[in-house]
Every structure is written in structure tokens, then in C-alpha cells.
Structure 1
Amino acid sequence: MYISKQEIENAHQRIQKYIRKTPSIISGFGTFGLKRSISLKLEHLQHSGSFKARGAFNSLLNCTVPKAGVAAASGGNHGAAVACAAHALGIKAKIFVPEISNPAKIDKIRSFGADVHIEGAAYADAAAICTKFQQQTGAIDIHPYDAVNTINGQGTVALEWAEQNPDMDTILVAVGGGGLAAGVASFYAGTSTRVIAIEPYGSCSMHAALKAGRPVDVELNSVAANALGAKCCGTRPFEIASKHIAKSVLVEDEAILAAQRRLWREMQLVVEPGGATALAALISGAYKPEDGERIGVLLCGGNAELIQVNNTLSGR
């Protein structure tokens, strides 16, 4: 599987009037207890609250949409992104979500006017129901991570970031099914910038796949699972990651929650656990940079439930 930088540039031209150019800021020496400044890409400020709006817009703008519209299965962020893009483009959307989905994310999906169907214990169950609906109605599918249009769309965040901060040596990216990491890694392929995949111990489908040499199922038990909880990473993202991801790193849930707290206390940034996962690797020492290494951290999602945020930020 190969995705060219040109394909990502084409996707960027296609979607740029529909998405936000999210800020990139420099943390400042000493922030988060680090003896360095880092570049933070604030993609949690994207439409629908996560990077996934990029892939959703690229997918819908690069296909013929039937009368039945679009249907998608999602744990939350992908569904919100598809609903957002469909609403903006005047397309009918039906989103299938599992019962474990964050209520805040379900409310966000509904806020875009999509028809939300809640059924199934896990994402795989919701996906099976979604597939049956697509077969019966002809509604098109937008896969959350294992599709070329999705990966190309997600890769546009790297293009944008490289323009804002062209001197990064290493970029830390949280991984669920792998679409974001695959897009970012594809953009930086052949350059000196390394892309590091960060996952929770309790939700590590890409790490397991890289270790096994193929996508494999994993058990999901992490505070970040409702955003990063792919039971099995995508085939396309795995193929890209196996060639272009420099390293795979795992972090504890406690480190993720600590990073979430520090983002608020030190920078007044509210992100969901999945959005704090990449930073957790740096703060906790799970990823240890070299002296002088210029680090970028992608904050990928901000769709946190208020009760969870209040409990986390208060240290409960």
C-alpha cells in the first residue's frame, strides 16, 4: 500500500474550504515538566471535535453519493465527523454507534442532524449492522480508517502542520485503527521527520499487528478506548505503518489522564483521553527523545464528556 504526498495535496485542495486550519503552538520551555519546547497541533479544535472531519469531507467530496446517502459505523468521533460533513454538503446520514459510545459524542452526532442508531456492545457489532443497512439501501460507506480517501484526508493535517512548523524531527501520533498515523506517515515518507505511533496498553491494535507481522484482534480495556478502541487495525494503515512508522510506543491509562490534566492546568486545553495519548508518551517517559530533538505532538480529539473532564481535571 502506497499513498503519495501528491494524493494528500490533492485531498487538501479538495477539502480546504470546508475544514478549519487548526493552530500549531509552541509550548514553551518547562511546560509539562519538559526541558524543551514542543510543537502542539491543536486538531481537537477541528470541525466535529477531531481530525476525522478531514477524512469524512475528502471521502464525500471524492465520490458519487446515492439517494440513500451515507451510512457509517463509529464509536463517536468518526460518526460526528461524517454527520458534520454530510450536513455541510446536504447529504442524508445514518450513523450506527455501539452502546459503549460516549454520550457527549452521540449528542454531537445528533446535533448535525444525522439519524443515530445505537446497538451492539462494541464497534464491530455496530459495523456489522451498518454493513447490512448499506446492503439493503445502497447507502455508501465511509470507513473510519481503512480506506484510501480517509487516509488521504487525515494526511492533510500533516501537510498543514509542516507549513506551520517545518523543522520537526519527530512527530508523536495517537493510534486507534491507524488512519491518522498512516496519513501522517505517508506525508512524511522519504523525509528526515520520524513518525511515532502511540497507543494505550489496553487498546493497542497497531502495536500488536506490527509485532505479529499482520493485523490481529486485541482486547480493549482503556480509558481512551472509545476514541482509540479499534479491535483490529486496518489492513491499509498496517501496510503503511510497517514501512513508514519509525517506532510504536505504549502508555498506561494513568499517564493519559495525567497528560489530560496537565494540558488543562498548564495550557487551558481540554482534550479527550485519546487526544492526550500522544503527549502522555512524552511526559511519562515512555518515549525518550534525544537531546535537541525537535518534537511535535498531535492533539487529535476534544470530544470529552463534561463529567469525565471534571473528574479527571480535579484528580478524582
Structure 2
Amino acid sequence: MPVAALKLTCRQDVEDAYRQIVPHVRRTPVIEVDPQDFGLDGFRLFLKLELMQHGGSFKTRGAFANLLCRRAPAAGVVAASGGNHGVAVAFAAARTGVPATIFVPTASNPAKVEAIRALGAEARVVGERYDEARAAAEAHAEATGALSIHAYDSHETLCGQGTVALEFEAQAAPDTVLVATGGGGLISGMAAYLSGLRRLVAVEPEAAPTLHMALAAGRPVDAPGGGVAADSLAPRRVGEIGFPLAKRYVARSALVSDAAIVEAQKRLWSVCRVAAEPAGAAALAALLSGAYKPDRGEAVGLLVCGGNTDAVNFA
């Protein structure tokens, strides 16, 4: 379907979605951190701890937006996921009494697959990358009539994810927000709500520059997918629905190395006692590595978008 024919999400859509999902999601906290704690200086720093959301990531917002705004048939819902979207759909489905089947690739973190199953959904491991799991999920939907919930390329998903920006704006109103980006659903939904009000910077792994390549080409294109955050930030290409919003409102894409992401995970833990997964630490990695350099006095917001990790051992 041509992009021009797709329904574009707007600020009002995000506000409408928030009214639907607000009884079911957490208003995640925002903390102000002294940049000097991270060896930085000259700006203000706010962290929105979306890893404290139900299901461990922002994805739960989009999952509830789909389940509350669309009618699920007797066959239930089906989704493909690198992990977090699957956990979110499993959580929302359990809360609304709907059966769920989740297709995940072998690249998924075992902790995320176990979380899907613990929530009562069926998890099926198919293929090495998200796109193979997605093809299997589509075949399942066609064969059973189950409602397909896309991880990032649907109007309802964008509306749900955009509610992060609605909350962040009310809590801190930072000048710039750094957002880890994979398929683009989160940053596009946030762009729809903010509509240029704040500066949005996409942060992507060097090993999976999906939006970066799309912005350079002026359209979604196939990109490599690998690296330490491959289960969250490495789809083959960005979503068709969200890309026009990203193209219009995202200021730039900053690329970070795997080493910078791992270092950011360690620093989030040592400084804030926040246990983030690689994708959740990517935004901080852009600051620590210098991929994004704030202006003096700038108020910078970081979205710590997920915490589904088994990296912290409490044994």
C-alpha cells in the first residue's frame, strides 16, 4: 500500500489512545540525574524509566492500544517479536482474557521468551531474525483468523507508544529526547504527539542502522541487523506507517557501538541502580560516546525503554 494511503497518526490520536490505556499501564517515573555522575557536564539530564512499565518495556502501551481499540476473535491474538513486544502482548492478553501466540526468532533473549510463557502465552521460536518470525505470525493469522498485532507498523501501536511522549512532556518537558530506535514505532509515535515541539534524536546501533539508512535514502530500505541489541533494535526495515512522521520530525539519527551500549548498561547500574537491557541503555550510550553532544544549558531527556535482561545476577 502506498505510504500516502496509510493513516498517519496525530497528536489527538495519541491523546485518545492514552484515555483508553491509562487504567492499564503505569505512569513511569522520571528522575533528574546530575550529568557529572556520568562524567559529563553543562546540561540537565532527565531519565524516564520506562523499563518499570508492566512487561518491562514501553511496548505494553502499544499492546493495550491494540487490544482495547480492536476486537479480538475467538482465535485470540498473534504477534511476532524479538522479545519485548511479545512480553507486552502476552501481558495485555492475559489482563484482558485473550489467548495469545507469539513467534520469536532464535536471536531473542531467553529471559524474554521465558517471560512470554510465564504470562500464559504460547511462544514459538522460528527463524534467526525478526522478519522470519513475522512471516510465521502472518501465516498463523491467515490460517486461524487470529488478530495480528504488529510490533511497530500499525496505527494503534504508534498511538500507544506515543503516550510515552505525552507523559514525559508533562513530567519534565526536556528540550531534546534521545530515543533508542528499531522499527520506528516508538519514535514515530512520540513524533506524532510532539509534532516538532521538542527535538527528537534516534539512537541506533552501528550494527543495525535501520532508520539512519532510511532517512539517508528518503524511504524505508533494507538494513543489516546485528549487534548486542539485535533482539530489540534490528528489524530489516522501518515501518511504512511511522516513517513519514520520523522523516518530518526526527532531527537526526546517532549511531553507537556495541561497546558503548554495554558501557552504558554498566553505568546505569553503577550510578542509578537501573538494570537496563542493551536497547534500554542505547540512549545513554549516545551521550557517553559523544554521538550526541548537548548544548550548554540544554535539558536532555533519555528514555530508558526496557529492562528485560538477565544480566544482573542476584544469586
Do residues 248 (structure 1) and 248 (structure 2) align? no
Match of 1:214, SS state, is: coil
* Equivalent in the alignment of 2:58: 51
List structure 1 runs of 4+ shifted beyond 3 angstroms. Answer: none
Aligned AA (1:271): A
Q: d(CA) in 2 for partners of 1:176 and 1:239? A: 15
Q: d(CA) in 2 for partners of 1:121 and 1:5? A: 36
Deviation at 1:305, TM superposition (A): 2.3
Match of 1:235, SS state, is: coil
Aligned AA (1:81): A
Match of 1:116 among 120, 123, 130: 123
Deviation at 1:50, TM superposition (A): 0.4
* Equivalent in the alignment of 2:206: 201
Match of 1:38, SS state, is: strand
State how 1:69-88 maps to structure 2 within 5 Å.
69-88=76-95
Q: d(CA) in 2 for partners of 1:134 and 1:2? A: 24
Q: Deviations over 1:213-264 (max 9, x none)?
A: 1111111121011111111111112111100101111111111111110000
Deviation at 1:52, TM superposition (A): 0.1
Q: Deviations over 1:39-85 (max 9, x none)?
A: 10000110111000000000110011100000001110000000000
Q: d(CA) in 2 for partners of 1:241 and 1:182? A: 5
State how 1:180-195 maps to structure 2 within 5 Å.
180-191=186-197, 193-195=198-200
Q: d(CA) in 2 for partners of 1:253 and 1:213? A: 26
Deviation at 1:278, TM superposition (A): 0.8
Deviation at 1:19, TM superposition (A): 0.4
CA contact (8 A) 2:44 2:297 kept: no
Do residues 163 (structure 1) and 153 (structure 2) align? no
Q: d(CA) in 2 for partners of 1:51 and 1:41? A: 11
Identical aligned pairs, as a percentage?
Answer: 49
Match of 2:272 among 256, 263, 267: 267
Q: d(CA) in 1 for partners of 2:147 and 2:140? A: 10
Match of 2:19 among 13, 22, 27: 13
Do residues 295 (structure 1) and 300 (structure 2) align? yes
Q: d(CA) in 2 for partners of 1:242 and 1:29? A: 30
Match of 2:106, SS state, is: coil
Q: d(CA) in 1 for partners of 2:38 and 2:232? A: 23
Do residues 63 (structure 1) and 33 (structure 2) align? no
After superposing the two structures, state which structure 1 stretch, 42-51 or 29-38, moved more: 29-38
Q: d(CA) in 1 for partners of 2:153 and 2:35? A: 38
Q: Deviations over 1:79-108 (max 9, x none)?
A: 000000000000010001111111000011
Do residues 33 (structure 1) and 39 (structure 2) align? yes
* Equivalent in the alignment of 2:236: 231
Q: d(CA) in 1 for partners of 2:134 and 2:84? A: 14
Tell me the C-alpha RMSD between the 2 structures.
1.0
Do residues 215 (structure 1) and 220 (structure 2) align? yes
Deviation at 1:29, TM superposition (A): 4.3
Aligned AA (1:56): A
